[in-house]
Structure 1
């Protein structure tokens, strides 16, 4: 595939689709920068995601969006085919794979390092076969039985996200005694299942699951308590981009900020998370967060000696 044309009516004339360049060797985890927090770009191939549902629902428009993020400097492109917003309907693994596999194949061919955002072990396996490198699983406490074995067998990095319930029930499951301690304890319980299946500690990346079975105050508490997540001994991913608790913070005259109006606040969370040592942030606006992590890295670097 040398180039792809955008489907009619799917994008403004002023934003032509990037041309898919010649195939490159598959990207590796070892290619990622080690001197700063990584930026993971969000690519939703869905009709109903809370921020950009439907915008990249065809393979061509999704590939175009992924290439724009990649060429803008995203370290990882996170491709998902099922919305995980509160109240979202389930999607079959077959439909999910129909949406994401062509996109993954094209992005990998272009040289991008891709993660698959899925709760289904069969989709994760198919995505790895298509060239994805990382499994990003937000199923939390309801992890599919086959997922630990797949992670152990594939040796793929695995993002372990905290979530109670599913998309339909999680908003009712926000009762915690101490949200930071409880999230760490519950993540540790799921981690034990991974260990029992033979998953190595270095494969695991933990995500506190902001917005998943958390109210607004609890999301802020978890951001304040990132050190407790790091004390688990794993890399930490922060995924706050455009989430509702940021919109509520930015309310003006009773009007909550729209998802697109939350990018400035997202970049602020990125900078703070990077300064605190997060391994990566998962964001919609790659450019702003890439700037933020570079600033945080420079501030955190040792002062030059006289």
Structure 2
């Protein structure tokens, strides 16, 4: 079977996300943006109702539900039936309601540590679950992150969480691990994780890379505007495909779709 990298388009229905906060809070705008991303080649739309940018505060379950459920229902009605919809949340009640509304992937940046019930919800529904590494919490994760060996520590955490997910009844093929680029990491940590993506792929679990528009790339490129980091993001997608990463969570779908497809085609020759 040929390797086809999957592109996960980001749909933040939040007022305060780091790059696109407030742009898609109105349901019609969210639907239009999702439709654009599908036309540009997105395989998955990831809907989030809580910002996890550095310094952000938690959002209640009720507020998350009010933001994401109507959007998921609208997307399920208007987008292709085989399109995957992902709910980006750390709360099991939000994930459960989102699955009922039509979501069929759960993306948990806490890897099930915020809400132990998350594993049972995903297992019962039989949906894929993304487990991400984060040092600290969004409110404080960039205050003073540090590691002795960032790759080893992140890898150990993710394998432990994957084993716990399996023990809860989640099938191994439904477990996706994410090293958490930008989540409690310094620039050098992010670069090291991207350089060693093959070690994550070697676990046998699917790997998600979410480097889109991240600040550490701006520090390298001399660019402070996240929206201007499309080229930098494409570079990480090419590196990820070369390492065997399965899925890429991005803001700019079309250029990353092209980069992923061309890189995969080169690797097949």
**TM-score interval (norm. to shorter):** over 0.9
The equivalent residue for 1:13 is none
Q: Secondary structure at the match of 2:18?
A: coil
State how far apart, in whole Å, the 2-side matches of 1:96 and 1:262 are.
28
- The alpha-carbon deviation at position 34 of structure 1 amounts to 5.4
- The alpha-carbon deviation at position 155 of structure 1 amounts to 1.1
The equivalent residue for 1:108 is 76
Q: Is it true that 1:229 corresponds to 2:229 in the alignment? A: no
Equivalent pairs, count: 266
Q: Secondary structure at the match of 1:114?
A: strand
Contact 1:141 1:164 in 2 (8 A): no
The 5 A counterparts of 1:158-173 are 158-172=129-143
Instruction: State which drifts further: 79-88 or 135-144.
Output: 135-144
- List per-residue Cα deviations over 1:100-135 (Å, max 9, x = no partner): 111111222221321111111111111111111100
Gaps in structure 2 of 5+ consecutive residues: none
- List per-residue Cα deviations over 1:224-255 (Å, max 9, x = no partner): 0101111221001100000001111111xxxx
The equivalent residue for 2:185 is 214
- The runs of at least 4 aligned residues of structure 1 exceeding 3 Å deviation read none
The equivalent residue for 1:117 is 88
CA RMSD of aligned residues (A): 1.4
The equivalent residue for 1:274 is 241
Q: Structure 2 length as normaliser, TM-score?
A: 0.95
The equivalent residue for 2:154 is 183
Q: Secondary structure at the match of 1:187?
A: helix
Q: Is it true that 1:78 corresponds to 2:78 in the alignment? A: no
Q: Is it true that 1:150 corresponds to 2:117 in the alignment? A: no
State how far apart, in whole Å, the 2-side matches of 1:190 and 1:292 are.
31
- The alpha-carbon deviation at position 90 of structure 1 amounts to 1.1
- The alpha-carbon deviation at position 187 of structure 1 amounts to 1.2
The 5 A counterparts of 1:19-30 are none
State how far apart, in whole Å, the 1-side matches of 2:112 and 2:119 are.
13
State how far apart, in whole Å, the 2-side matches of 1:227 and 1:73 are.
25
Contact 1:164 1:173 in 2 (8 A): no
The 5 A counterparts of 1:123-142 are 123-140=94-111, 142=113
Contact 1:36 1:274 in 2 (8 A): no
Greater Rg over alpha carbons, structure:
1
Q: 1:285 aligns with which of 249, 252, 256?
A: 252
Gaps in structure 1 of 5+ consecutive residues: 1-32
Contact 1:46 1:83 in 2 (8 A): yes
The alpha-carbon distance between structure 1 residues 296 and 242, as it changes in their structure 2 partners (threshold 3 A), is same
The equivalent residue for 1:49 is 17
- The alpha-carbon deviation at position 163 of structure 1 amounts to 1.0
- List per-residue Cα deviations over 1:158-212 (Å, max 9, x = no partner): 0010112211121246221110011011112222321221222111001000011
- List per-residue Cα deviations over 1:26-55 (Å, max 9, x = no partner): xxxxxxx95421111000000000000001
Instruction: State which drifts further: 48-57 or 103-112.
Output: 103-112
